[in-house]
Amino acid sequence: MTGAIPRRTRARRRGWLALACAMLACGAARAGAGNLEFDPAHSRFGFELRTRWGQKLEGRFPHYDGHVVELPDGRHQVRLRFFTADVEIAGHPRYTEWTRGPRFFDAEKYPTVSFVSEPYDPALLAQGGKLAGKLAIRGIQRPKSLDVEAAACARPALDCDVVATGAVSRADYDMDNWQLAVNDRVVFVLRARLRENTAP
């Protein structure tokens, strides 16, 4: 004959069940975090140049791909590619043609600019700081850190933009044409949000 389960035993079982559900939910959240892509509706990737006369030229990459990977140790890694054949300088067709051409990005020969970060603690997005990684332009890869701004919300990249900037020298990537007209310094500007990757 099977007796009724004591109240204390039932409560203990409910406690273990709640803990198991919480662990499963946590696992699902972590799995989702490892499958995040950049949200095109809220992400903007570009760069800024200055002419010798102080004029600011704003470039953008309308086409890109990238995602954030969650690593086994809980850290994250950003992987991004920007397609140079579509790069634009707002309001300046001549500069647009130059940046796509052989003396700047050389889109025909080097179709992408890429950035792969070092593994980082996700808290970096909230607190701000240096995001180290490697930037490849025209087949030349160099260490590069981006300056991440402190977040303006509790869930950065989901409820508000993550903003990061990083300056490079054109000469370091063999893009030193037009030095008399355009400064050597290029500032990359990234404003990004993430969403779950729904691709099968």
Look up the pTM and report it. Answer: 0.78
Rounded to the nearest 5 percent, the helix, strand and coil shares of the chain are: 25, 40, 35
Rounded to whole angstroms, how far apart are CA atoms 129 and 174?
A: 29
Q: What does each of the 200 residues of the chain score in pLDDT, given as a tens digit?
A: 434 444 444 444 333 333 233 222 232 233 334 578 999 999 999 999 998 888 999 999 999 999 999 999 999 999 999 999 999 999 999 999 999 999 999 999 999 999 999 999 999 999 999 999 999 999 999 999 999 999 999 999 999 999 999 999 999 999 977 666 789 999 999 999 998 765 55
